[in-house]
Each structure stands twice: as structure tokens, then as C-alpha cells.
Amino acid sequence: MNVRVGIRLLGCLLLVAAPFFASASRAQDNTGTKGIDSGNYNIQQSVEFGYRGNWVNGNQNNYDTFVNLGSGVRLFDYTLDMRSLDHRGIFFDNLNFSNFGYGGDPNNVTRLRIEKNRWYDFRGVFRRDKNFWNYNLLANPLNPSSFNPATPILNSPHSLDLVRRMQDYNLTILPQSRLRFRLGYSHYKNEGPQNWTSDTSVISRLNRVDASTMNAYRLGVDYTIVPRTIISYDQFLNYSKQDDTARDQNFLFQLTGGIPVDLGIPFNGTTPCAAPITNGGTTPPTVKANCSGLLSYSLAGRPRNFMPTERLSLRSSYFRKFEMTSSVAYSSANNQLPDYSELSTGLSSRTAQRSTTSGGPADAKRVTVTADWSGIYSVTEKFRIEDSFAYNNWRIPGVWNAVLGNGFSVAPAAGGLFPSMLLPLSAPFSAATCPAPFTAATCPQHTSSSGEDFEMETNSRFLGQNSKTNNFELAYDFSKRLSARIGYLYENRVVADFFQSRDIAEIYDPGGPTGNAANFHLAARGDCALVGGVLPAKCTLQANGSIIAVGLDAVGTDTERNLTEIHTNAAVVGLTFRPMDTLRINGDFLFGYSDFALFRTSPRQVQQYKIHATYTPRPWMSVDGAIDLHENRDNVFQVNNLAHGRTYSFGTILSPNPKLTFDLGYNYNDIHSEALVCFAASGQAGLPTTPCPIVGSPVALSSNGFYNSLQHFVYSDVMIKPMKAITASFGYMGSFVGGSTLVLNPLQPLTALAFNYQKPYAMIQIDLYKGLSYKTTWNYYGYNGKAPSAITGLAPIGSPDFNGSLATFAVRYAF
Amino acid sequence: MGRVKGLGFCSFAAMLMITGLMISSAQAQEKTAEKGKSDSAASKTAEQKPSEKGYVGSDTCKTCHEDVFNGYEKSPHYKTMLDPHATASKQGCEGCHGPGEEHTGDPADKTKIFGFKGASTEKVNSKCLTCHASGPQQMNATNSLHRRNDVSCISCHSPHHAQTKEFLLVKSQPELCYSCHLQQKPQFNMPFHHRVNEGLVQCTDCHNPHGTVKPKQVRTSATQDAVCFTCHIDKQGPFVFEHMPVKTEGCVSCHTPHGSPNPHMLKFSNVNLLCLQCHTTSSFSGAPGTPSFHNQAAQYQACTLCHPQIHGSNVDRTFFK
């Protein structure tokens, strides 16, 4: 269905609806409501409900990802407002209750506010968000069509269908008194199925169930010490937990004998192995037993996190010319994962590992100390000195005591296939089942690439940052027409990043087809691989033939100590110019320089230019224009990072009379980023060939890694009221995006880089009788990629395009 | 799961019950209030004590500004009239507009009384903050970027002509914010965006328009972390293995927070190029380069296929799981 068809549909609907209500609309006089006075309250209510139908063509997953509005009966809006006539209600003076989206829409929101003058103020919000997400180009392995059979990935390996429920409740007791109490509670819950990926023996798609919960309790006290000076204390107690599980349920192939197997999702000719399918005529297809694959996979982890925070704040404008704010906060967190467990069986053809287990407790803490102060001293009525200082220190120490194990198969029968998923796992290594010289069929069968049989390892990580920022400004009002400020911003930031991995113990058991006395029957491998024909220190041959490594110190890449200090200096300039009463121009500029960049894209040089003009020549006419430029650079040797975001915006609202309103606007956004990138790439035509100029780079190629996005956005909205009882509005919003980027994989569709996304709409409301209205709305969503989604050589993954029309028929009653 | 669903339902049900109770209480008061109906708010203005010099009381204002007064009578600001201990300078019209005696003597001369329209931002804010400075939301008003850019309280709030009952805004969100922040509207209309236009999220959930100590007036979470973690609780950590830029540079180092053409609101259309910009071996980078077997032209073009726990992991330094 295209726009034209949708418009026709709308026209038909309106034609059908309008005569039906015409007589009624003439009969009624007023849709506005003053509510009902009941007792000491004025009560106003409105309810809007009806039916929405949708018609979607094209990619349903993308429609649901972007829009996700379906068909059915809905409560579009319900509001209740109660106001005490004399502001002296028994339980409350004001009550506001609003709801929308119930009945099946992805977003449902309820807001409630109840307040009684000097006694209390309660606010509650309940929000539910059904977040469906399945944009198949994210994390798509882009399988080539040359694989037989071609295996396109039609759904994103990271798709999800989450439901978020967010509840916030806040109660202020004695809101106007010198001593005020604040209580709060929040409950957030995210749950639902996801697709996830794991690189175990193959990159497999997992079925994950995510359940994250956060309970937050707040307690605050405010006390006005002296006039215009208030001191506050807040205590926050946050508890969060995750109950994540993941399983492999995507067994799309079988081994001989009908054993289900998952070969992962990338199929590119060499992965998971060359020509894995031995019999495509079976259902499902039968594959090689010596190909990498998964026979089972499960993961479970239940992190528990407690995060208490205390904050003390002070605000004062006690002195006539001086006002200040300050606060200091201390927050800690303790995230514990006591029962992590990952189990998999299958085969990694390179290492001959048939099973892996991974576990061990993890514990991470965080301590954050923040403090800030800001003050304004008004030297004269026109001249102000302003300063703000912020201190932020956080550190995150963490440790994971890993326990890892790898299982191997028994030996195949003479001439049999090795490695193979059809071979049974060997029994745990022992002299009974695998005596010297370790050639028994029951011995675990290793290769020289096999990992350890068992390992205990301690991984420690420390990440911390200490930052101090000060912004000093002088502001002067030259006249009623002109104000300016100039300032200096300084930041000092120290980042510490330490990592150490220490092997407590590793066990390498002997056994394998290439084992011999010289290689200790393959027990001398991994960290205990022979160096010059002898075992490394701390690797000891045991009487049973195993080699045990104890206390291997962290060496090489297992130890990192990075300490980075960055100084940033910036000039800040602001300007407000009112050449006439109807025109205001604001300028806000920043020019900064840092002496080091923590990352290649962290800017050393920053320039920001923001200009906004508002022109209101008539009370019914306003015109706005804005220019927003951000220029970031880290263009040092072998980084060459340049980035900018340049936005130009225009908007106007014209309301020449209450019966007619225009709202129009246009926005142009130019986003660019580039940096020298080095990478490995091969096997495709048209790839960059420039060598990487960076000494010591493990990858050979380089190019300018650029991304350009040029975004046009237009919108218009027209509201007309041709008759007192009829209100109509129609409008259009369209995003037109184009761009270019470095393409490292020619199979990559560039849909996200170039598309049109258009959303026209129309609405007519007919007032029927004293607060009763009929409302019909039409919305159209059209997403059309401008770049081809059918790429030569890519297994067809379908078009991302969709178009959807929504028609809503609703009744609104306000009383 | 069922327990939480139950909690949500119970909360919603509790709200409905409270609402029902309130309506019932209103009905119960009906009879008792009938008598006092005639003593409606207008007569309560008599409580005001124009005892201070130069103050005339709101009833005097009403004689000329009746429409404004009638609206004011229904607004939250009317509660200033109910404080029996407050002086005239803190009540009613003159609580904000100052003493009206000179103005009543010469109504045509608008300089004889404080008018918010045309007053400087500093003066307008000073008037409002006289009472509102103690509010938790206004605690950092001295850091307000709006104030520095000549945006005063009445740019967003209208005590007399508000279109929203809560906070007395001149427009509801997000249209109010879009009216100045023109460049944000297109972002929230991108295919991938935070659900602001849909009403699920409000601008003020992430930003405090009255000022914060953070750039762009971004709020912090209760735990002094980035505000993003308020909802994205599974990304907060702390993790044993943090992805460093998440904590040091913030979520915006990879994401465009309002909306983007790219999935997950990423800054780049291709995940691998986003990663490579930092993960290229360099003496100027804290990020390690990619290993030689990461063939970008084959299965490794989507880094997050193998590194899905990219925000942080407790059990894998390379964010595999």
C-alpha cells in the first residue's frame, strides 16, 4: 500500500463518517467542558477510546521495530482532574490522573498526582514498554549465496522482544514547611526473550531469557536553616538483579544417526568448515561429524547488585548578591555473580575440544565520590561572576576467579574420523583409564592446539577515573538589548586501567594421535609447550603423565597498567542580542583543547558554535532558526580523526486565527567522522590495498575509515477549524537520509545509510454533543531504503522496506 | 516474572483505588460543602492582609484583571493565599508582581509594578526562585544553561495561561522543548529513537531544564552514574571487565542518544567501522587493535556477533559472554 492508496482510504472513511455525524454536529454547541462541581471539587474527565486498524506491507519485522502499532480496541486517553474549589479539600486539593495506550499498544503510561497544599505531594508513574526489535542487518553474518545451500540470516541474531515495566512513586511530606520529607520508590523490570550469539566452537544463535530488575528506595530531608538557605540529605538504596539464561535451541542440521547439531550462523565456505553438508536430502540436512558445531549449550548467571548512595546538598541565596549550590555524594556498589555457569558440548575442530565448562565467582565493586559547587556573585545589577566546580572520583575493582575445563573424546576406531562429534567423551583422565604410554583408546584425544584440560585462573581488573572541572565566567548585561559572557573551562582527568590475569593452576593431560615421548604425549602444550625442547619453569611433569603448571605469573599481554592524564582547556563565549523586542539571537560558543586523547576518537580539539534566533513579529507568528556546529579533531599522526555534526534548522508557527494554525519546519544535518583504520580483509573483490602504516600493527591493511550521513527532515502540520464543531489537521514528516561510508565487506547492504522515512497523517474531529466527539485519524509510515538490499553474492535477506497505514476510529467524551 | 507482573498490576490497581477513594470523598463532601459553596474561593481572598506598606491586596487587582484573577484562583499559586501567617508581599498577585499601590494610582504606567513580560531573565528567575529555589528540581538553578542563554522561567511556564495542569507549562512536552531545540525533533523522528514522541519518555526524564552540574543539563542516576542506566539497568554494572569508554567517555561515544538512522542508535551504520576507529593499534589509543584473523570482509564484520556483551562482562575480558 502506498501513500496514494492510504489517502484514498482516508478519504473514503471520512466520506462515510462525515454525513453520519453532520446533523449531530450542527446540533451541539460546545465541546469544551468546565467539569462538574461535586462537593468541594470541580471534576473534569475525558475519555477517548476506539478501534485502530493497521495494514502493513513489506518487512513486518522492521515495521514492528520502528512503529509496532497494531490493530484492536484501545484506550487512547483517559484523564481525570479534580480541583478543590476552595483549595481546602479533606484529603487533597488537586488530583490529576492520566492514562494512554492500554489495550495492546506497545507503550502504556499512567500518571497520577495528588497534592494537598501544605501537607503532601504525591506523584506516581507507571510505564510499560513493549520493545520489539528485529532489524536483521545488525550483527548479520552476511552469508554469501555461494554456500550450498545458501543460508541467509533473515532475523537479527540479536533480536529481542522485551517488556519494560517502570514504576516511580514519589511522596513529599510537608512540601512548604521548613522541614520537608521526601520518600520514593521505583521498580523497573525488563524481561523477555532475546536472540543472542556466542562464539564457543562456532558462532551460534542462542535463545536467551533476560530478566533484569531494579528496586530503588529514596529518602530525603530538606531543612531551611535560614531564609533562602536549604540543606538537603538524600539516601538512595538501589538493588538490582539479573536472571539471565541462554540455551542453544537452533539445531538446524543433524549428524549421521539423527543427532541434532548447530553449526552456527556464519556459512561462508570455510566456516564452520568446508562443504559441511554430506546429505542435503535429509530433513534436516546431514553434516560432517568433524565440522565444528554445538550439540548443546547452556549459560546461567545471576548477578546481584546493591548500590547505596548518600548525598548532602546545600543551596543558598541568603545574601542579596550571592547565591550558591553545592553537594557532595558518596555511592558504592557491590555486584556479585556467585553462580556463573557455562556448559557446552560439540566440537571445535581446531582444538579437538568436545566440551567446555566455565564457572567461578565474580565480584565487582564501585565507589564513587562526587562533589560540586557553583556560585553567582552579582557585583552590580549588570555584572556577574559565576563559577562552578565539579569533582568526580570513581573506581571499579573487580575479580573473577575462573574455573575452566575442557573435555576431549576417546580415540576413534582404526581408520575412524578424528576429531568427530560422534566420538564419545573420554572419562576423566586417570592412570586406570589412560595408563602410560597413553595410547589407549580411552585416553583423551588432544591435538597440539588443544587447550588445558583444567584451569583455575584469577582475573583482576581495576578501572578508575578522577576528574576535576572548573568553569569560570564573567557575564555582563551591556543593555537591555545585549548581554554577553566569557569564560574559561579547565578539566583535569586521570584514568587508571589495570589488568592482571594469573593462572593459579593448569593441568595438561597426555593423550592424542600425535603424542610421543618427545612432546610428553601431547601434555606439553598451551602454556606448557616446550621451549627449546624443555618444559617452561613452573610446569611440572607428574607421575601419571600430566603436566601441572602452578602459579604462572602474569606475563606479556596478561598484565596491563595504563595511567593516563589529560588536561583540557576551553574558552567559553555567550551572547544574547535583542536588536528589537520581537527578535532574540543567542550565541553559545566553545573552543577547547586537550593535551591527550584517551581514545582515538576522543577529541583533542573541540569547537562548538550554537546560534539560535527567535523572531516573533506578531503574537500569532513565530519564526525560529538555529545553527548548531560541532567540530571534533584528534588529527595527530596515524590517527587523523576528524568529526563534525553540522545542523541547520528552521521552524515557524503561524496562527493567524484560532481556526487556522500552520507549523512548518526543515532541518539539515551533516554528520561526518573519519580516522585512519587498520584491519584485515581478504577474499572479496574491491577491498582496500593500502598497507597499514602503523608499526607493530597485527593487521596489514589500512584506509580512511569514514562515515558521512546527510539527513534532511521536513515537517508540516496544518490545523483548520472550518466549522465550530469540526477540527481537522493534517501533516507530514519525512526523513531523507543519504550518505557514504568505508565498505569493508562488499556484501554489506547500506540501507541504514540511505533511506526515506515518511509519515503523513490526517485527523478530523467532529463535536457531536456537549463534550462528545468523534475522531478519525489516519497515519502512514513508509520506510524505503535507497541502497539496494539485494547484493550480488549475498544470500537474499529480503528488503527492509515497509509501508503501513493506520486508521483510528475513536470517540472522545469530556465531562 | 509473575510476581513483578503482579506488582505492576497491584500498583495500577492501587492508583485506581486511590482515585476511587478520592472521588468518593468528593461525593461525601458534597453535602457539607453545599453550604460553603457560596463561600467559594473569591471570598477567601479576604484572608489576605494587605498590611504592608505599598500593598493593596489581590481583591484590588481583581477589579481590573478579573479574567487573570479567575484563572489564578484555580491555579496552584493560589495556595499562597491560604497561609494565615504570610505577609502581603508573599501572597496573591503582589507576591510575584510586587506592591501594587503605585500601579493602582497610575494604571496606565506599567513601570509602576513589576511585569514579567520584558523583564530580564535574571529578574524573572529571581522572582520565581524566591519560593521555588528550595525545590529539588531547582537545586542547581545556578548551573542552568537556560538561564545563561537568556531563557527564563516564563519561557516555559505560564502561571496565567498554562496549557498543562502540571507544572503550568506553555506547551506540553516534547513540543515545548522542540520549539527551541529544533535540531532534536528530526532525531526523534528517525527510525531508531527513544520513545519521546510516543509519550513513554519525556525530555525531562533525562535532562533537568532547571540545571544540573553535567553538560547539556543531563541528570545523573541515583547512583551518580549516567542517567542512561536509570532505565538500561543491565548495562550499569559495575562489571569485572568494563568496556572502558562506557564509563570514561559515556554512552554517547558510540550512541546518538535521541535518535539515529542506525540500529541501536549507533553513530555508524556498520558496527565494525565504529569499533575500528578506536580498535586500531596506535600509540595514541587505549584500545587494542584487532587481531590478524579478524577478516572484516568475511564473518568478522559484525564485531558484536562474537562480542555481544560489549557494555561490560563479569566473566570475559573480551566481552564474549
Give the residue from B314, B317, B319, B320 with the most A CB atoms within 10 Å of its CB, the best one to mutate.
B314
Q: CB B237 to CB A364 under 8 A? A: yes
Predicted pLDDT of residue A215: 96
Give the residue from B124, B266, B281 with the most A CB atoms within 10 Å of its CB, the best one to mutate.
B281
Nearest to A318 by CA among A440, A229, A185: A229
Across the interface, which of A112, A378, A733 has its CB nearest the CB of B189?
Answer: A733
Q: CB A87 to CB B296 under 8 A? A: no
Tell me how far the alpha carbon of residue A746 is from its chain's centroid: 27
Share of chain A above pLDDT 70, in %: 95
Across the interface, which of A335, A665, A700 has its CB nearest the CB of B182?
Answer: A665
For residue A129, which residues of chain B lie inside 8 Å, CB to CB?
Answer: 195, 200
* Number of Cα atoms under 13 Å in the Cβ half of residue A161: 8
Q: CB A694 to CB B297 under 8 A? A: no
Mean pLDDT, rounded, of chain A: 91
Q: CB A562 to CB B271 under 8 A? A: no
Q: Per-residue pLDDT averaged across A631-639, rounded?
A: 91
CA of B41 vs chain A CAs: smallest distance (Å): 5
Could you read off the pLDDT tens digit of each residue along chain B, which spans 321 residues? 444 444 444 554 555 555 454 444 444 444 444 434 434 444 444 444 556 788 888 889 999 999 888 888 888 888 888 877 778 888 889 999 999 989 998 888 888 899 998 888 889 998 998 888 888 888 888 889 999 888 999 999 998 888 888 889 999 999 999 999 999 999 999 999 999 999 999 999 999 999 998 989 999 988 888 999 999 999 998 999 999 999 999 999 999 999 999 999 999 999 999 999 999 987 666 788 888 888 888 777 789 999 999 999 999 999 998
Q: Which residue of B has its CA nearest to A94?
A: B76
For residue B18, which residues of chain A lie inside 8 Å, CB to CB?
Answer: 112, 114
**Which SS3 state, helix, strand or coil, does residue A560 take?**
strand
CA of A451 vs chain B CAs: smallest distance (Å): 17
Predicted pLDDT of residue B17: 52
Q: Which of residues 39-58 of B touch A (CB under 8 A)?
A: 39-41, 44
Provide φ and ψ at A376, rounded to 5°: -130, 125
CA of A17 vs chain B CAs: smallest distance (Å): 27
CA-to-CA distance for B119 and B226, rounded, in angstroms? 36
Q: Is 70 exceeded by the pLDDT of residue A328?
A: yes
CA of B281 vs chain A CAs: smallest distance (Å): 6
For residues A613 and A590, the answer to whether their CB atoms sit within 8 Å is no
Predicted pLDDT of residue B107: 86
ipTM: 0.91
| Local confidence band at A554 (pLDDT 50, 70, 90 cut-offs) | low
For residue B140, which residues of chain A lie inside 8 Å, CB to CB?
Answer: 325, 374
Predicted pLDDT of residue B36: 41
In single-letter form, the type of residue at position A192 comes to: G
A540-551 residue pLDDT tens: 999 999 999 987
For residues A709 and A686, the answer to whether their CB atoms sit within 8 Å is no
* CA-only gyration radius of chain A, Å: 34
For residue B275, which residues of chain A lie inside 8 Å, CB to CB?
Answer: none
Establish if B161 touches chain A: CB-CB under 8 angstroms. Answer: no
Predicted pLDDT of residue B82: 82
From A372-381, A570-579, B111-120, the region with the lowest mean pLDDT: B111-120
What would the grid cell of residue A728 be? 481537522
Give the residue carrying C-alpha cell 568496556.
Answer: B243
CA of B26 vs chain A CAs: smallest distance (Å): 6
A411-446 residue pLDDT tens: 998 888 999 999 999 999 998 899 988 999 999 999
For residue B306, which residues of chain A lie inside 8 Å, CB to CB?
Answer: 197, 199, 203
For residue B299, which residues of chain A lie inside 8 Å, CB to CB?
Answer: 141, 203, 266, 268, 271
CA of B105 vs chain A CAs: smallest distance (Å): 27
CA-to-CA distance for B284 and A754, rounded, in angstroms? 33
Peptide bond into B174 cis (omega under 30): yes
Q: Which residue of A has its CA nearest to B12?
A: A126
Q: Which residue of B has its CA nearest to A212?
A: B234
For residue B120, which residues of chain A lie inside 8 Å, CB to CB?
Answer: 477, 480
For residue B5, which residues of chain A lie inside 8 Å, CB to CB?
Answer: 165
CA of A66 vs chain B CAs: smallest distance (Å): 6
Q: Per-residue pLDDT averaged across A744-768, rounded?
A: 93
Peptide bond into A397 cis (omega under 30): no
Q: Which of residues 281-310 of B touch A (CB under 8 A)?
A: 281-287, 289-299, 301-302, 304-306, 308
Predicted pLDDT of residue B49: 53
CA-to-CA distance for B214 and B220, rounded, in angstroms? 8
Which position has the higher pLDDT, A148 or A417?
A417
CA-to-CA distance for A659 and A753, rounded, in angstroms? 41
**Residue B2 host element (H or E):** helix B2-37
Provide φ and ψ at A65, rounded to 5°: -70, -40
Predicted pLDDT of residue B224: 86
Question: Chains A, B: CB contacts under 8 A, how many?
Answer: 511
For residue A86, which residues of chain B lie inside 8 Å, CB to CB?
Answer: 36, 39-41, 44
CA of B162 vs chain A CAs: smallest distance (Å): 15
Share of chain A above pLDDT 90, in %: 76
| Local confidence band at A256 (pLDDT 50, 70, 90 cut-offs) | very high
Q: CB A673 to CB B285 under 8 A? A: no
Predicted pLDDT of residue B41: 43
A17-32 residue pLDDT tens: 443 333 333 333 333 5
Q: CB B302 to CB A388 under 8 A? A: no
Q: Is 80 exceeded by the pLDDT of residue A559?
A: no
Q: Is 60 exceeded by the pLDDT of residue A239?
A: yes
Give the residue from A76, A87, A403, A476 with the most B CB atoms within 10 Å of its CB, the best one to mutate.
A87
Establish if B106 touches chain A: CB-CB under 8 angstroms. Answer: no
In single-letter form, the type of residue at position A254 comes to: Q
For residue B74, which residues of chain A lie inside 8 Å, CB to CB?
Answer: 42, 83
Give the residue from B34, B91, B146, B198 with the most A CB atoms within 10 Å of its CB, the best one to mutate.
B198
A114-125 residue pLDDT tens: 999 889 999 999
Q: Per-residue pLDDT averaged across A674-697, rounded?
A: 88
CA of B300 vs chain A CAs: smallest distance (Å): 8
For residue A779, which residues of chain B lie inside 8 Å, CB to CB?
Answer: none
| Local confidence band at A571 (pLDDT 50, 70, 90 cut-offs) | very high
For residues A707 and B269, the answer to whether their CB atoms sit within 8 Å is yes
Q: CB A85 to CB B40 under 8 A? A: yes
Q: CB A680 to CB B294 under 8 A? A: yes
Provide the whole-model pTM.
0.90
For residue A307, which residues of chain B lie inside 8 Å, CB to CB?
Answer: 222-223
Strands (E), A26-159: 36-38, 41-58, 72-84, 94-100, 107-116, 120-133
A707-755 residue pLDDT tens: 999 999 999 999 999 999 999 999 999 999 999 999 888 888 998 999 9
Nearest to A136 by CA among A61, A58, A60: A61
Give the residue from B110, B146, B269 with the most A CB atoms within 10 Å of its CB, the best one to mutate.
B269
For residue A584, which residues of chain B lie inside 8 Å, CB to CB?
Answer: 150
Q: CB A735 to CB B244 under 8 A? A: no
Q: CB A680 to CB B296 under 8 A? A: yes
For residues A457 and A448, the answer to whether their CB atoms sit within 8 Å is no
For residue A694, which residues of chain B lie inside 8 Å, CB to CB?
Answer: 280-282
CA of A705 vs chain B CAs: smallest distance (Å): 7
What would the grid cell of residue A234 be? 538524600
For residues A160 and A192, the answer to whether their CB atoms sit within 8 Å is yes
For residues A732 and A766, the answer to whether their CB atoms sit within 8 Å is no
Q: CB B264 to CB A138 under 8 A? A: yes
CA of A24 vs chain B CAs: smallest distance (Å): 29
Provide φ and ψ at A313, rounded to 5°: -130, 150
Predicted pLDDT of residue A730: 96
Q: Per-residue pLDDT averaged across A83-91, rounded?
A: 89
Q: Is 60 exceeded by the pLDDT of residue A587?
A: yes
